Structure 1
Amino acid sequence: MTTSTRPRRIVSVLATSAVAVGLCSAATAPAAAAAPGLEEILVVGKTLGFRHSHIDETTHALIDLGAEHGYEVDVWDPPNDSGGWWGPGSPGQPDLTMDSTPFTTAADLARYDSIVFVSPVDNTNSLDPDQPRLLDETELAALQGYVHAGGGVVGLHAATDTMHTSSWFTRLIGGGARFAGHPRQQTATMRVENPAHPSMTDVPATWERWDEWYNYTLNPRGEVQVLMTLDEDTYDGGTMGDDHPIAWCQNFEGGRSWHQGAGHVDESWSDPTFLTSVLRGIRWTAGTVSGGGDCVTFGEVDALVADLPAATARDRVAVDQLEQRLATARAQAEAGEHDAAVRTLRPATALADALVADGATAGHLSGKVADLVTWQQALATTS
């Protein structure tokens, strides 16, 4: 593997680009949100399989937003000759790409507030361990170290169709869900599930869009916090039934990840509403915005409770009561009884505060329980 050189930083492209035109002409749509604190991101478009045309559009859209909002963009999208049924290989973006891989060490990646994977398909669907993949073992270890140190990761569209042979990457991007297939492009209805998350606040509650709609190998709900679902009654070819997540987020092994499964069609990347949502998703992974429960899940809080150190007898009582309330609230939430879940969870915050075995751990736990309350309150407004 080559050693990364100082990357080429991109902060602007021609103002006449399709994204700039789209942003200027759509006066009725919300302007892309400013990004205070966002300084530099890495956009990964490298492909070893089918190459999506939107990769170039997405890259330029994120560069344009960086020029507008003051953050810098590095691009990793080298040309290669990995041809197959999809064609003769990937043209990449030679005028934008870094000279060598940025995935050298976690310390090198630490410069980035977020790493954005833009449909980097690598043809590992067969699960053949000998098939070349997007990130080799050294590169994957660098990404793991980056995430464990609190790094942010964004997956766009076909980010679930890469690194199929890495269960860790699959969990990072999709909560275990991988791309399984898709019907023809068509109009379908997306529904916002958590309108309080920063990336959803200006998205229509019911959003009819033309796109390519992915089916997944499993439903990631429970492993991730679902932000949007697809209504399979509004299009043909869905295979996931009444609960078809399409956008989600999670706190993952010390870092944050956010995924949007739409965005195949190039027009997405000149749509100010779509761009605003993606930019806010990036900002959330970078930790520069928060809200809506910050992508907490019941599983995340259960794990914190299970990891509490040995407690005094008084603490043990509080832990037992907390576990009971979490289990009850989870059942209520899964039944769609979000107001009831809120009522159950409110006393749980006080129980977490009462734990004295480890003040720092208890304080973090209390904050996560409060996030559960905020999340369930948001879901109650849409149920």
Structure 2
Amino acid sequence: MVDPLTLNSHNLRLFCLCYFPDSQIALQPDVLWQYDRRTVARLFLALISGRTLPTSAAHGKREQLLAWLPDRLAELDSLDFLPTAVLHDVYMHCSYADLTEKHRIKRSLNDLIRRSLLAGDFKDIAVGDNRGQTATDAPEVQGPPKKPVLLVVLEWFTSQHSVYRTHSRALAALRGRFTVHAVGLTSAVDTVSRQVFDVFHEVDTASALQEAWAIAGKLRPDVVLYAGIGMFPFTIYLSNLRLAPLQLVGLGHGASTFCGQINGFVIEEDLVGEESCFSETVIRVPADAMPFVPPADVRRVPVTRTPFLTRQQAQWREPLPVRVAVCASVMKINPNFLATLAEIERRSRVAVRFCFYMGFAQGLTLDYLR
């Protein structure tokens, strides 16, 4: 008995199909897990993966499951039955929870992914960091030494994307010390962003993991650098394989990976915060080591605005509100943030209006947020 419903093997899947983040029926994961853990695991991952969870009910379910589910994932032995198409959303969107241990689910997912990969057709290409090897371990070098090979694994990297703006100059500068190869989805780069690297290898979305792994096997890179991990499924999977002795991740998605195959997190020193938030060794670089560039092909048009006091005098009958633009992707809108804005509006001695300009708010999502 799950109050106020009676569940059994015949209606459990119907319940899971109808249950959604804003459902007012209390979520009882311990009870549901006893029925059919495979079906229930799919439901729980779907609930965590949601991009838009602005209500207390939806946000609370994610908090509850992020605390409960990580230990239970160890009881599963395969990825085959899980909603793999949204696992990267679970990986990404847990960052927007409030729970202190919100990233713990990444460790559980990584363990499950690695076990599944090694049980299948994949294997590690390199061993762990072997920089301590003796000189006799290396073959005799004939002629001038070649540059070491660096393989950069990309997610979104078009010249309009924020990762290009934040990483492109630093990645291009690495060509002075390394032969820089990059691998990424054909649809996630463009002509401008390809020029950052010595060699760019494009892979197809459907076979990205297999192709990227094969490319690494041929290159045998000395270092692998993930510009970020979390936006695409194939980068999460690939990060759980050892492709090079030294594997690093950058600030393309600003959260720790909790992945045993990633050695270091490269981050500017003024952005580190608490090192305890990282599972990797934090590699601090100077604050200006990754200079930003403006987006390509953007024409800036200066805006001419009538001063606020002038507009206020023209509408003297009632005060104009002070309009505050809230620019954020929908993932960053949560009930605590909305409650804070409401409290600011309540306490303010002048009228305040918050105007939301949200990324990914389209179609039904926009109607829901309104």
Q: Which structure is larger by alpha-carbon Rg, 1 or 2?
A: 2
- TM-score, scaled to structure 2: 0.28
TM-score, scaled relative to structure 1: 0.27
